[in-house]
Every structure is written in C-alpha cells, then in structure tokens.
Amino acid sequence: MSFGISNSVRSRAVRTCTPELFWKAVRSNYVARICAGIADAWEQWKRGELTREEYDTLKNREKKQLPIFTFHATFAGGRRLNAEATPSGLCMYDIDHLDAPREYWAHVVDERKEELGIVLAHVTPSMEGLRLVFIIPAGMSLEEAQRWMSAQLNDPNYDQSVKDLARSSFAVPEDYILYIDEEKLFTRLPVETQNFASLQPTETPQPTETPQQQTASFKGIPYSEIIRQWFILAGGEPAQGERNTKLHQLAYHLRHITDNDEGLLLEIMPRYGLSEEEMKRLIHSACTAKWGGTPRLMNTVLAHLGSPDAAGASQGDAPPEMPRKLPALVKLLVSRTPEAYRPAVAHAIFPPLATHLHRTRFRYIDNEEHEATLMCVLAAPTGSGKSCVNAPIDHIMADIRAKDELNRQREARWKEENNAKGANKNKANRPEGLVIQWVSPDMTNAAFVMRLAESEEHFLYTRMNEIEAFDALKGSSRNPQQFVIMRLAFDTGEYGQERVGEKSVSEQVRVRFNWNASSTPGRVQEYFRKVVVDGPVSRINFCTLPEQEIGADMPVYGTYDVSFDEELRPYIQHLTQATGFIDEPKLEALARKLHQELKDRALLTQDRVYDNLARRALVIGWLKACVLYVANGCRWEAAIEDFTRWSVEYDLWCKLRFFGTAIDQAESMGQEFTRHPGRRNLLEDLSDDFSRTELEHLRMKRGMSTKGTQDLLYRWEKRGFIRQTTNDNYRKLKYRNDGIDLDPNQEA
C-alpha cells in the first residue's frame, strides 16, 4: 500500500509518503507547535476564555498550515487531483465530537483493531475527534468500506464526506498517535478488492461528459480542460458545504469566454449532484450579475493553457526573482540574511528607513506631492522565519530609539513630579519637544493622536509581530478606526479627536505613521476580508517567504557587528539630514516608464483588479526609489530602476495571490447592491419561488456569511413568510415590501 504526503492542504503538489517522511512530519517541532497552539485554544474554550466560534476560527486557520497525508491514494502526476489518483487500498474513517477520544479508542475500538483492519489511529488536531485508517475489506468500494466501519462501530453519525480519493488528513504530533501498524501501513500490497468506479463522493458526483463538453472549446482550448485547470488554481474541486458557491463562481468566470451563453454553460458546466433546474438557476444568476472585465483567475487559467489572449495575465506560481545587482544600501541590509529570506527583508527595510526623513517631499507624475509613507506586511506560514526582518530593522532604527529613550526618561520624570504633588498644587506643564518616534503598537487612539501632535512632523513608527495588534487603534467597535488610519497614513491625511475634558487629548494632526507587521497568510486574508476593496490593501506593501520543506536545514544568519553599523551610518545620516522638496528627473522618468509598462499589461489582460492594484503599487515602488536616492546622498544608481521594477512586480504578485480572488468576488458580487441605498430586506430581493442556493448567493452579495442560511430559512418558515416546496426550494407567502400582511388571495 502506498499513500501521499504534501506540505499543506493549500499545496496541490504531493509525493509518495515513505516511513522516513511520515515520522519526520509527526516528530517535527513545527507540527508539535501548531497542534500545541490549537490545544491551548481548546483549553481556553473549555475554561470559557474563548467562545466556540473563536476557537473554531483559530483551529481552522492554524491546521491549514500542517502537512497532510492522502491515505486514500497516491498521485502519479504529483498533483492532488482525483483524475490522477491511484487508490491505495486504505480508507479513512472519522469519529467526531468526542469529549474524550483517547478513552473512546481504549474502550470501544482498541480490542477490535486487528479484526477491523486498522493500521493507524490518532486524535485529530481539534482534540475532539478520532481518525482511523484501515484496510478496505475485499470487494468493497471506498464508500462501502466506510458504511461497513460505521455498522461495525454502531456509529450512524460518521463524516460521510470523507469519500474523495484526494481527501487529505492533517499530520499530528507523535503523542497524538494511539496505534500504528507500520508494516501494514507502508507494505505495498496489490489492490484487488475495490470497485473504484464508485469512489467519487455521492454529494459531488462527476457526470459523464456530453459530446458538447468533449468538443466545445475557446480558441482551440477545450472548455473541459479550462474547467479542470480552473479548479486546480481555485483551490480544488468543491469541498463539502461549498458546492453551490464554487459552481456559481465558476459559471461567472466562464461567462466571459462563452459570450454569456446560458445554454452553452448548461452544457459544459459540471453538476456535482445539482439537478437541471438548480443548474439553470445558478447559471442564470451568474450570467445576470454585473458585467466586468475577465476575472484575473480566468486570465491566469488561460495563460497556463497557452492562450494568446492571456499574455502577461499570469503572475506565475513563484514570485518574481530578485535582481542580482542591487542598490548598495539594499545589498548591505540583506547581506547577513539567508538567501531565501532576502526578498522579504528587501521590502521590510523601507518603512524604518523612510521614518528617518523629516519634512521631505517628492513630486509624483500626477503632480501630487508625497512624503515617504511606507507600510509593509510580511505574510508567511508559521515557523517559516518571519523574524528574519527584525535585526535589519533594529539596526536601522538604532539612532531613533536612542533619542526616544532620552525623551521617554524626560516624560517619566515629569509624570513622577506631578504625581508627587497634591491635588491642589500647581502642576508642571507637559515638557516641550517630547518627540518619540518608535511607539508601541498597543496604543489607544488618544495616545496615538498625542504622539503625532508632539512629533514635530516626524514619522511615528511601530513593528507588530501580528497584524491584529493594529486593533489597539480600533477605537469604538461600531466605528473602527484602524483601517481609516492605514488609508490616512498612506496619504498623510488629517486625523484627530475633540474632547471637552480638561485632561483629554483634543488635537487634529497629519498622520505620518510608517510600520511593519507580520502574520500568516490566513490571518492576513481574514483580517482584511471585509475591506479588500476599501483601500487599505492597495496602500500596503506585501511580501512573503517561501514555504519550507519538511525537515529543511536550519537557515544560518550573518553577524550584525560594528562594521555593519559603520557601513550603514552614512546612509542613515543622508536620510536624517535631508529636508524640503527633492527634485530628481530620473525619479520622474522611472515612474513614467513603469507606469507605461503596467498600463500596457493591464490593457492586454483587461484585468481590472490588476489595473487598480498596480496604480498604488507603483507609487509604493517609486517612494522606495526616492528613499534609496536620498540615502545614497542624492546620487542616482543604475540598480535603482531594476530594483524598483522588481519591487512593484513582487508586491503585485503577493496582493493578487493573497487577495485577487476575494477582490474579484467582492467587485463582481457587490456592485449590484451599490444601486440600492439603505438596508434592504433579503426576502424582497428573492423571486416568489426561490432556492436555498439563490438565498446563499444573495447573502454573499450583501457581504454576509452563508453559514446561517438554513437557520434563516427555518425562522422565515416558522414566521409564515415562506413555505418549503421541495428539499431545496421555497415559495413566498404573506409578504410585501412594507411589512407582513395577510393576503387571502395567497396560499395559506
């Protein structure tokens, strides 16, 4: 028997798992650390310190970073796809929602493990489930084997979605493993018992292709191949619970290369168990949504398949390669960094460098003046080495931290003196010149405004280990300010607060605030999920780190010694001494040249998301060029141009990778509702006869989760607003725009 292993559930690459790879994964500190974090959160939930929703969110986010095993199959093409699967003869069986999985194993399963053919049993990362891997009995299919195990264990509530050959199982630490028969788990035996024709999940059956599906094509590329590639790049075929949503997205993307032909879409679209009527409604909904340019994901699919229409559309699976020849300052700052981490460091150094500029302005090609407002987020998996940026930042900011320390001491003495005085005694005014630039991310809005007011137009700076630290500036939960501050920081916009209290902070200030933050890709995507089209994402510079192979060697850093600081010193001095308006024709020429390149690419791809992101990505890259020019003593380096071009392309690659699909969906699904001011009743925008699928799409367009759809339908039915007609279809009853009213002419 043989099964697969992959770095994570997000990766489509998979290879055959050997005993060495298996034990390397389950014994790795990386797996232990992630599962320990989930276990800690589980304990917090048990103690009432986290809500169930908070625990589930953290658990689902963290476990996606774990390596995975594909016990059901190996994949000859190295990709985790059902079409390329070779069955292993093994079957997974999940027992969920157990209070004590270890006790369940000991009292219910352990004595029968050989009788049941179990070769592996372990507690799941959630701490609430038991996963069994067993040999499929002779003559059974995968689905039949699971039903057989269900009967053997008298467990009618097993997870019936675990039927997919490409289904994955998260790796767990060795101490989560309750039983393993290594010899049987890894021995290659002939698979002679299964009827593999029925291995597809019953919830998501793959239909036989019609002649039209087999022959229909777009500019020579069969639609069937386009759909196959689309699923690969969209994260795989629909999982349990996302069938309708994913098929709607596919239909919306295909409409752009089928002339919006609903009949053709009905012929070429996969069904995944949906009826003809459900498919018609889904396709009609996709084809009547607001029209835009061809989505980025579809352009990428066409580029992968060699379509000439997609030239330049694909950003590729790997980020753009960093230039070999770097500007002198960048070369110095990445010189002590392991090579794989250098691109991330090359982006992260700019917010602290720019913080040294004071009252220094540059004119962009649109004739607007800018200061060096730079913000950078490093989004990379847990344990990938995000701390690589810390030492360069510390050395860049050493002079500012030394000045800050003196002012913090002055502030502390003033507080002590005033606290020692009685309530009726005259207290000293706050000292003048308390410029403190490196501030704590754990600031209230009032403290933030006060530091800006006292900054004398210097930049504030902070570094956050997690992007969520920005929530300290959130202010009122009903009117969160952290995303407003991000937008204003890029534009040096006005911000402040007005209070009537004698000791309250009342100031209006310009936001000069550069910062660095780190987090995992999942957390970053979740953090910006509701504002992907509202401005913050396009104003921030994003970078990442490559996914580390399991068991990779330890990266070795260089030494940040005195010679490093001495070499860095003149660049920092040039930045601190600069002031006023900086005019350099080569900076303007560079911006114009890159603007034309990006505009040409946007015109070729007709990708609106790319075009919108590219505009501010260019401003960010140009500001980096301005910083490098000043740091170099206002002397131009030829390497600045190549570095800036790479920086812009890398930033765009990250943004499209992390947010491209979310922006596509937000713009294609959200536009329709900008025409309707105010809150609208969901039922009002549904047809008289509607399906659950239509309601889910409507909720998504309103920015809602589809999670509560069934509960909403139940409550509507209980209130007499609707009546269920078939399993997934409903009819409106006593409803009209101005409220609920009994209408004798309608059905009771």
pLDDT at 568 over 70: yes
Question: Which whole-number Å values give the CA distances from 640 to 629, 645, 706, in the listed order?
Answer: 8, 9, 48
> What pLDDT does 646 receive?
95
> What pLDDT does 131 receive?
94
C-beta separation of 643 from 334 below 8 A: no
The three-state secondary structure class of 50 is coil
> What pLDDT does 376 receive?
98
94 alpha carbon, distance to own chain's centre = 28
- Could you report the per-residue pLDDT of 287-302, keeping only the tens digit for each? 887 565 677 678 777 7
Which range is least confidently modeled, 128-137, 162-171, 333-342, 675-684?
Answer: 675-684
Quick one: average pLDDT of 185-199? 47
The three-state secondary structure class of 405 is helix
Quick one: average pLDDT of 216-223? 81
Quick one: average pLDDT of 235-251? 76
Q: In what order do the strands lie in the sheet with 130-135?
A: 90-95, 130-135, 118-123, 177-180
> What pLDDT does 708 receive?
72
Which own/partner contact pairs does 655-659 have at CB distance under 8 Å and 24+ positions apart? 655/537, 655/538, 655/542, 655/613, 655/617, 656/296, 656/315, 656/609, 656/610, 656/613, 657/315, 657/544, 658/379, 658/521, 658/524, 658/525, 658/542, 659/525, 659/528, 659/532, 659/537
pLDDT at 193 over 50: no
C-beta separation of 591 from 370 below 8 A: no
pLDDT at 669 over 70: no
> What pLDDT does 565 receive?
96
- Could you report the per-residue pLDDT of 423-473, keeping only the tens digit for each? 666 778 889 999 999 999 888 888 899 999 999 999 999 999 889 898 888
Both tokens of 400, joined, read 């500012």
- Could you report the per-residue pLDDT of 22-36, keeping only the tens digit for each? 999 999 888 998 999
Both tokens of 161, joined, read 């979605």
pLDDT at 100 over 90: no
- Whole-angstrom Cα distance, residue 442 to residue 472? 5
Scanning 305-397, the segments in alpha helix (DSSP H) are: 328-333, 342-348, 350-354, 390-396
> What pLDDT does 681 receive?
67
C-beta separation of 597 from 312 below 8 A: no
Quick one: average pLDDT of 202-213? 40
Instruction: Give the Cβ contact number of residue 743 at 10 Å.
Output: 11
222 strand-pairing partners: 217
Instruction: Give the Cβ contact number of residue 269 at 10 Å.
Output: 22
Quick one: average pLDDT of 266-278? 86
The more confidently predicted of residues 120 and 245 is 120
- What percent of the chain shows pLDDT beyond 90? 39
- Whole-angstrom Cα distance, residue 113 to residue 491? 65
- Range ranked top by mean pLDDT from 155-164, 213-222, 461-470: 461-470
> What pLDDT does 161 receive?
57
> What pLDDT does 475 receive?
65
Max alpha carbon distance in the chain (Å)? 93
The pLDDT-based confidence of 733 (bands split at 50, 70, 90) is: confident
Domain locations in the chain as residue ranges: 4-194, 211-310, 325-415+432-548+560-672, 683-740
- Whole-angstrom Cα distance, residue 342 to residue 493? 32
Quick one: average pLDDT of 90-101? 88
pLDDT at 345 over 90: yes
Scanning 341-444, the segments in alpha helix (DSSP H) are: 342-348, 350-354, 390-396, 398-420
Question: Which whole-number Å values give the CA distances from 62 to 54, 466, 467, in the listed order?
Answer: 12, 14, 16
The three-state secondary structure class of 328 is helix
DSSP string, 157-220: T--TTTT-TT--EE---GGGEEEE-HHHHH------S--GGG-S-TTSPPPPPPHHHHH-EETT
**Burial degree of 242 (CB within 10 A; 0-12, 13-18, 19+):** middle
- Whole-angstrom Cα distance, residue 505 to residue 495? 13
- Whole-angstrom Cα distance, residue 372 to residue 362? 8
- Could you report the per-residue pLDDT of 506-530, keeping only the tens digit for each? 678 999 999 999 998 888 998 998 8
> What pLDDT does 214 receive?
43
> What pLDDT does 680 receive?
53
Enclosing H/E stretch for 562: helix 562-577
Under CATH, which number does the domain 683-740 receive? 1.10.10
- Whole-angstrom Cα distance, residue 284 to residue 278? 10
Quick one: average pLDDT of 13-19? 87
The more confidently predicted of residues 358 and 245 is 358
Question: Which whole-number Å values give the CA distances from 470 to 265, 444, 480, in the listed order?
Answer: 45, 10, 11
- Whole-angstrom Cα distance, residue 403 to residue 346? 26
pLDDT at 306 over 70: no
The three-state secondary structure class of 656 is helix
Which range is least confidently modeled, 318-322, 400-404, 524-528?
Answer: 318-322
The more confidently predicted of residues 743 and 415 is 415
CATH number 1.10.10 given to 325-415+432-548+560-672: no
Mean pLDDT value across the chain: 82
Domains 325-415+432-548+560-672 and 683-740 share a fold: no
CB burial string 483-515: b at 16+ within 10 A, e below: bbbbbbbbebeebbbeeeeeeebeeebbbbbbb
The three-state secondary structure class of 523 is helix
Place of tokens 């330049």: 312
> What pLDDT does 748 receive?
30
pLDDT at 675 over 70: no
Scanning 29-141, the segments in alpha helix (DSSP H) are: 29-46, 52-63, 101-104
Pairing mode of beta strands 494-497, 507-510: antiparallel
